[in-house]
A and B are shown apart, each in its own frame.
Chain A
């Protein structure tokens, strides 16, 4: 899960297994340090939403904060964490990146256009 909000100084620890990037421990989310001592970069992704979902949430996009590098799967998990009452829906919702459906392991950049394509109903 990549929806962490940061590092608590008092909880800071060193991890020797590299890059990926955080773990959960009770109420604390820790980022693992990279080998060079740096912490992972965070990035903000806007996910466009449409139709009945947009009406239900009264917005046209959802902003999520994830650790870079991120995949589509990370976005699904961050969306689910942000809306726990709809977690099952967001976990499996199809996302399009730059106007094409993207697989769960596809990478996502902060400059990409991401849209949630569910509950469609043309015709």
Chain B
């Protein structure tokens, strides 16, 4: 089982699904990889924006993401979780969040994905601000 957390400045680099795999020791048990990417939309509440600015309260943000990932990993019996989140400005169309979950079967990975994102939006100290055009 393995958890990796990255909070980095600016938009996340595009990735092919083949290289999001977490180098967990038991990676050969993986039968399902589910990847979610959050992309900045063109508007917030109906008003056009050029970017979102993310503010992370560190080190609590990284620690909270890692703690959440470990909890979800254990609860759903997953093999690996990799979380990437942006801080600073991310332009429209760019990626600001990526969550890759690896498990033996799809069901637990899909359930874990939803729960992780809900809890992150409630508990992890990251704030976003719309930068309007």
Contact = CB atoms under 8 A, between A and B. Distances in A.
Q: Do A and B bind each other?
A: yes
Interface of A: 48, 50-52, 55, 96, 99-101, 115, 117, 119-123
Contact of B127 (A100, A101, A121): A121
B71 interface: no
Interface of B: 38, 54-57, 59-61, 63, 85, 96-97, 117, 120-129
Given A50-B125, A120-B121, A123-B85, 11 more contacts: A50-B57, A51-B129, A52-B129, A115-B60, A117-B57, A120-B124, A121-B126, A122-B56, A122-B126, A123-B96, A123-B97
Nearest to B99: A123
Contacts of A121: 121, 126-128
Contacts, number: 59
Nearest to B7: A122
A48 B55 CA distance: 13
A51 B60 contact: no
Contacts of A123: 38, 85, 96-97, 117, 120-121, 126
B60 A119 contact: no
A82 to B, nearest CB: 21
Given A55-B129, A123-B97, A48 B120 contact: no
Nearest to A100: B60
A119 B97 CA distance: 18
A120 B56 CA distance: 10
A51 B55 contact: yes
